[in-house]
Amino acid sequence: MYCQQCQESRTPACTLGGACGKKKTVAGAQDRVLYSLSALAFRAKAADTSLEPCVLEALFATLTNVNFDEVRFGEYLSCITAHYNALPPAAGEPAFDAPAGLDTLSDVNTRSLFSLLLFGVKGLAAYYSHALVLGKSDDTVLPFIRDALASRFENLTIDQRTALVLDCGRHGVTVLALLDAANQTYGVPEITRVSTSTGVRPGILVTGHDLKDLALLLEATKNEGIDIYTHGEMLPAHAYPAFKKYPHLRGNYGGSWAEQVTDFAKFNGPVLFTTNCLVPPAPAYADKVFTTGAVGFPNCPHIDAGPDGSKDFSTLIAFARTCRPPEELGRPDLLTGCAHDAVLALAPKVIDLIKGGKIRRFVVMAGCDGRDKRRSYYTEFAKALPRDTIILTAGCAKYRYNALALGDIDGIPRVLDAGQCNDSYSLVVVALALADAFGCGVNDLPISYNIAWYEQKAVLVLLALLHLGVKNIMLGPSLPEFVSPDVLNVLVTTFGLQPSSTVAEDLVKLSCI
Ligand code: FSO
Ligand code: SF4
């Protein structure tokens, strides 16, 4: 085992089991799947044929906190092997059953650049999967994923590998835009105040990022005498008009994924995981965790999609009916839905406030939350920001400050939550529109970037931001273990990437005070 893909990686890697709870055997099964996917991609590239969309789920399942079920990785491997065997051998291809860990890439910069590419591709596969289930596709994505995976076995220069990484950012922008459009299946998000109080009926808690799963569950539960609550990254669903039509979509329960162990114990009802981040369930609620899509955990019931995409939630619903209602957590209501359309509708007012000096700076604090104690930095940073600054956020990072009473500037809330981590794209749309309005470049705007990362979707979002030309991004709470000193040097000199340090220092570095 040699895993360093997330922010919780040990130094230099998790080798005896993951801080995330991933066992060595599961890590081995994931490595085998990833290696075999690259071998398949190498053959497919030589045969000038495409990869099947089913590879997306296999990639998605290897993201941090998605799937801990070795059996499922065995199934993915069988499928990949069948596709591999159906293709003619390629000249110079690797052995299919060679050691599979990324530590077999002995050159440190090759390993670092391939890791950066692979992790970006995992994020790409995850977001593209969401777009596909909502009927949006793009012909360039699977060919890029094929070539990126095949590059593991190609004799490329450092410059060629760097170019592939940057190209991943370009495809990231394509897929984020695609998903943005796909999510509008449920209407255009509206700025929405979300209740966090609980009702007297039993509930089902839905977490993860898959809006279609939520849509299917809302429809299946509309006359069942139970309420649906969102958790973590599902909070922004409340902003979509199509979901507002369901009165039993009661509110949001709890905080980010990192708080699930305490939140779920008090929820009393079952929890449906549609994507990451799944923490190995604690005994207090282990019998209440259901998974779907790419998510899996041994002994937790898994709800598969039928051939037409439908899902049978009857077991989950029947179980929910036997549960007590959720305990009240006593948290303030939350604001979400500040995506590009809603914010751009406010643009004339925002522009006036900027010109009048009432809004001095925006700080993009998008990204992930996590269990690292250093993440209290983001709460302190938000509190320390002067009152003439506005936080633009997306992703679960927001739970570090979205319940603070940070107020507003002439009616514009000081925390504008665009939605899920993929909605970071929305923040760029807003930034580009502001740049247009002021006739300047995106880096000339009064916007700073203080991004929190955790897993591989954040890697993809970061590569997408770099592709869009955003410079001087600050990254924390620690830099990735998989970035070698030479690769870091390229990111620093070319893009001005900088690590976060202390609140006091970073407020100055990011021109916030
Ligand atoms: Fe968070 Fe987890 Fe959305 Fe990630 S729930 S950490 S970047 O999976 O995807 O923001
Ligand atoms: Fe370690 Fe993160 Fe890999 Fe889990 S996903 S094994 S915590 S690096």
> Which ligand 1 atom lies nearest to the CA of residue 456?
7
Q: How far apart are the CA of 425 and the centre of ligand 2, in A?
A: 26
Residue ranges of the domains in the chain? 24-184, 192-321, 337-509
pLDDT of residue 240: 98
Place of tokens 């291809």: 93
| Closest C-alpha to ligand 2, atom 3 | 3
Q: Indicate the CATH number for domain 24-184.
A: 1.20.1270.20
Helix axes 108-133, 54-61, angle to 10 degrees: 120
Residue type at 323?
C
* Whether the CB of 1 sits within 6 Å of ligand 2: no
Q: What is the dihedral of CA 172, 178, 181, 185, to 10 degrees?
A: -120
Residue numbers belonging to the annotated binding site for [4Fe-4S] cluster: 3, 6, 14, 20
Please provide the DSSP assignment of 342-363 as one string. HHHHTHHHHHHHHHTTS--EEE
Q: Where are the alpha helices (DSSP H) in 48-107?
A: 54-61, 70-85
Give the residue-averaged pLDDT of 261-278.
Answer: 98
* pLDDT per residue as tens digits for the range 188-207: 999 999 999 999 999 999 99
Please give the distance, rounded to the nearest whole angstrom, from the Cα atom of residue 95 to the centre of ligand 1.
35
Cross-strand pairs, 266: none
Asked if domains 192-321 and 337-509 share a fold, the reply is yes
Average pLDDT value for residue range 8-35: 98
CA of 163 to the centre of ligand 2 (A): 26
CATH for the 192-321 domain, from 3.90.226.10, 3.40.50.300, 3.40.50.2030, 1.20.210.10: 3.40.50.2030
302 C-beta neighbours (distance < 10 Å), count: 15
Mean pLDDT of 23-51: 98
For residue 392, the SS3 value is strand
Name 126's Cβ contacts closer than 8 Å, sequence gap at least 6: 56, 59, 60, 63, 209, 275, 294, 456, 457, 460
The CATH number given to 337-509 is 3.40.50.2030
Residue nearest to atom 2 of ligand 1 (CA): 277
Annotated binding residues for hybrid [4Fe-2O-2S] cluster: 209, 233, 277, 368, 396, 421, 455, 457
On whether the CB atoms of residues 226 and 203 are closer than 8 A, the answer is yes
Q: Render pLDDT for 119-169 as a digit per residue (tens, 0 to 9).
A: 999 999 999 999 999 999 999 999 999 999 999 999 999 999 999 999 999
* Complex-level ipTM: 0.96
- By the 8 A CB rule, do 340 and 422 touch? no
CA angle 90, 93, 102 (to 5 degrees): 145
The protein residue with its alpha carbon nearest to ligand 2, atom 2, reads: 6
Give pLDDT, residue 244.
98
Helices (H), 151-198: 158-183
